[in-house]
Amino acid sequence: MFRLDGKVAIVTGGGSGIGYAISTLFAKQGAKVAVLDLKQEAAAETVAAIEKDGGVGAAFECDVSKAASVDQAFAGVEAKFGRLDVLVNNAGIAHVGSVETTSEADFDRIYSVNVKGVFLCTQRGVKTMQKTGGGAILNLASIASLIGLEDRFAYGMSKGAVLTMTLSTAVDFMKKNIRCNCVCPARIHTPFVDGFLKKSYPGREAEMFQKLSEYQPIGRMGKPDEVAALALYLCSDEASFITGAAFPIDGGVLCK
């Protein structure tokens, strides 16, 4: 079950964190994985891990906020692998601030990556998928799509847009055999979290890590591999009856 043999997958932001976990798991399950990342070196490192484990991958530098960059990367994937069956829109950035403390530049930066990036990749993705009979799209939203989080105004805005883009894509392409779902994680322990704590709370990293962990009623942050496992199911043929759905993976946040 949950094999992806014969499928070609694109994972944006695949150079680290959740994207790395999804890329390597999909390859392990038989997919040929195109790893797209703003940093070519990071994408290449993920592909090296895939190939070391006997999988097939290819690295592509891509700025998801730029149409020309997206077109170039997707064209490269199609030229190399000949098709596209799975698209994971994982690339994203974070921001801390309320509506009062968020600058216009902050807002535009979050929008360009988290919203426009998903738009551009999905637009190109559905075009490519239709050539070979359809596929599956998975967007990385957030529990910020579903509830209000303190000091996450711009980030919450962007992830709310990801949720509604998921629903619209599911409705518009249902009859063309393209499914679209999203996952809504709470805090996941990635290198980004460690970097954020080091930058924002120097000398108090352990204290703040514990505080952020306890936000999840289950008592810890999630792991990238746990998000990857859910992503694998939703992009596999076993989930062929699921589209237009949002799946929390939140350690009990929404039920507390």
Q: What is the pLDDT of residues 70-116, one digit of tens each?
A: 999 999 999 999 999 999 999 999 999 999 999 999 999 999 999 99
Residue pair 34/11 in contact by the 8 Å Cβ criterion: yes
Q: What is the pLDDT of residues 206-233, one digit of tens each?
A: 999 999 999 999 999 999 999 999 999 9
Range 138-146 average pLDDT = 98
Kindly state which CATH superfamily the domain 8-186+225-249 is placed in: NAD(P)-binding Rossmann-like Domain (3.40.50.720)
The total of other beta-carbon atoms located within 10 Å of residue 100's CB is 6
Active site residues: 155
Say which range, 53-62, 185-194, 226-235, has the weakest mean pLDDT. Answer: 185-194
| Dist. CA 65–CA 38, nearest whole Å | 10
E strand residue ranges, 134-177: 135-140
E strand residue ranges, the chain: 8-12, 32-37, 56-61, 86-89, 135-140, 178-185, 246-249
Closest C-alpha to 65, from 106, 126, 113, 103: 113
Residue intervals of the chain classified under CATH 3.40.50.720 are 8-186+225-249
Beta bridge partners of 32: 8, 56
Above pLDDT 70, what percent of the chain? Answer: 100
pLDDT band at residue 256, thresholds of 50, 70 and 90? confident
Whether the predicted model's global pTM rises above the 0.95 cut: yes
| Dist. CA 81–CA 9, nearest whole Å | 10
Q: What is the pLDDT of residues 45-58, one digit of tens each?
A: 999 999 999 999 99
